[in-house]
Amino acid sequence: MDELSLRALLERATSPEPPLGQIVSNSLRAGRKLRRRRRATSAALSAAAVVVAGTVPALTSGPGHKVIKPAPAVVPAPPAGAATAYVATSANAVVPISLATNTAGTPIRVPGVTDDPFVPQAAASPSGRTVYEIGTAGGSPTTVTPVDTATNKAGPAITIGNAEPQGFAVAPNGRTAYLSAPEGLFRISTATNTASRAPDCRFGCGAMAFTPNGNALYVISGGARGARTVILIRTASNTVRTSIKIPANSPGIPFNIGITPNGKTAYVVDGKFEAKPGENSVVPIDLATNTPLRPIKIWASGVAAGLVIAPDGRTAYVLSSRAVTPIDTATNQAKPTIELPGSAGYAYFMALTPDGKTLYVLTPRGVIPIRTASGTVLPTIKVPKLCSSTPIAITPGGRTIYVGACITRTRMHHGHKLSKFVGGVVPISTATNTAGGFINVGGAPVAITFAG
């Protein structure tokens, strides 16, 4: 794992309280090994990459420069009639879980799963008929594997090339998907399951977001040393229409992007590592004119990277290391900062219920519910044996949250204690904010999506 990626992970995964232990160190070690394998495979090529769509931008300033991957945040709404959770695991499998019974089905084998917590792993088509799993096979070229949710069978993998994923998004009409990487953008036809080069981002592609009508795709390009721009791609013609520069008075790294449900405004999270209050900002972009507006200061310390926009479009929520900042999208003003409990550790990810009433923030010590109307922080929901940088996702109906969990089971064999690592998910009821039983999925969970 490169230095800046590791630094981002450490900032979110560690805190002054006691260390998280073996699971964290194992995750970091696995990430380093994976990066080394990929670099060796693609040594003769320019750097390659892809990351989670809902969005994590991994940003670069060109071949050979370092990649920065903050936590994913803007997650497309799952299909309304979804009946199954699909959990991508480090065991090179996607495991279906029935939302009605919370039971795991037969694992669906895929070519590989990228065991990097800041890389996109899976996304569902708007119809819910297909789940796309993103991964690699032993450091080989990146693949996108379609899984038919009617049969739970994996189709032939779509080979992208020697690229580390930075973002993956499926168009609202389901006809195309895009995968971003430091070397550029790749377009996938979902009808033929073939990939082709999309317009080049020049300085590397990171986080991206479709407009609600799917006519345009906005992609972050460039990092700390790059052009720091947002590129507008017309999806019908697959051509770049314009390039929007991030204002110079917002001197961070553009980590994330989200678009309001009415399609009028995009918000770009421009963060800095170890930032002091006021050093992070969010840049609104007027999509009618494609003009950046005055940056909105974030008065919370630590890197700001996470972003989720409420279903009614009235509020955007920005996740910093230890706080959440609501932004009024009508006035583009930051509301009072919602501080997380000091004992919780640095926040990983967040998810918003479909009704927009409760925000759930994942931390090393559990899941923290926040009532969005009042900004009230409720008691932390304890999840036994929480994984490092584990996924969190809310079902389409909003009744259940699924959180990744990693436990160690021991048994005695001829007088010796044997330990076995087991990965799974834990369901949390949003009605009672209580955790249910552990669901074994066989490997460390790296992504959760809903379909079927």
* Single-letter amino acid, residue 79: P
Instruction: Provide mean pLDDT across the span 131-142.
Output: 78
Identify the three-state secondary structure at position 23: helix
What is d(CA 189, CA 75) in angstroms, rounded to the nearest whole number? 21
pLDDT value, residue 184: 82
Give the pair of three-digit tokens for residue 274.
């170890």
Q: Over the stretch 180-217, which tens digit does the pLDDT of each residue have?
A: 888 789 999 999 999 998 887 777 888 999 999 999 99
Query: 258: alpha, beta or left, given left = phi > 0 and alpha = psi -120 to 50?
Result: beta
Task: Retrieve residue 433's tokens.
Answer: 């904010």
CATH number for the domain that contains residue 24: 2.130.10.10
What pLDDT was estimated at residue 419?
67
| The two structure tokens encoding residue 178 | 């895009």
More confident residue, 136 or 125: 125
Task: Compute the average pLDDT of residues 278-297.
Answer: 96
Of 317, 331, 319, 443, residue with least CA distance to 390 = 443
Is 357 a domain residue?
A: no
C-alpha distances out from residue 335 to 53, 95, 203, 325, 332, Å: 27, 40, 34, 7, 9
Strand segments (E) across 171-314 = 176-181, 184-189, 194-197, 205-210, 216-221, 229-234, 239-245, 253-259, 265-271, 280-286, 291-292, 296-298, 306-309
How far apart (Å, rounded) are the C-alpha atoms in residues 93 and 264? Answer: 39
Establish if 124 belongs to a structural domain: yes
Do the domain assignments include residue 432?
Answer: no
Residue 144 falls inside a structural domain: yes
Structural domain total, the chain: 1
What's the pTM value of the predicted model, to 2 decimals?
0.83
For the stretch 21-69, pLDDT in tens is 322 223 333 333 333 333 332 222 222 222 223 333 333 333 333 334 4
**373-391 average pLDDT score:** 85
Residue 45 structural domain: 3-81+106-345
Domain membership of residue 50 (yes or no) is yes
Instruction: Give phi and psi for 143, each to the nearest 5.
Output: -125, 155
Q: How many angstroms separate the CA atoms of 278 and 254, rounded?
A: 16
395 exposure class (CB count in 10 Å sphere: 0-12, 13-18, 19+): buried
Tell me phi and psi for residue 306, to 5 degrees.
-75, 145
The 8-class DSSP code of residue 379 comes to P
447 within a domain of the structure (yes/no): no
Q: What share of the chain is helix, strand, coil (3-state, %, to 5)?
A: 10, 40, 50
Residue 249 lies in a domain: yes
Is 310 part of a structural domain of the chain? yes
SS3 335: coil
Give pLDDT, residue 63: 37
Mean pLDDT (whole number) for 380-389 = 77
User: Is residue 20 predicted with pLDDT exceeding 50?
Assistant: no
- DSSP result, 70-122: ------PPPPTT--EEEEEETTTEEEEEETTT--B---EE-S-----TTS--E
pLDDT of residue 192: 95
pLDDT of 64: 38
In this structure, the dihedral spanned by the alpha carbons of residues 58, 218, 169 and 303, taken in order and rounded to 10 degrees, is 40
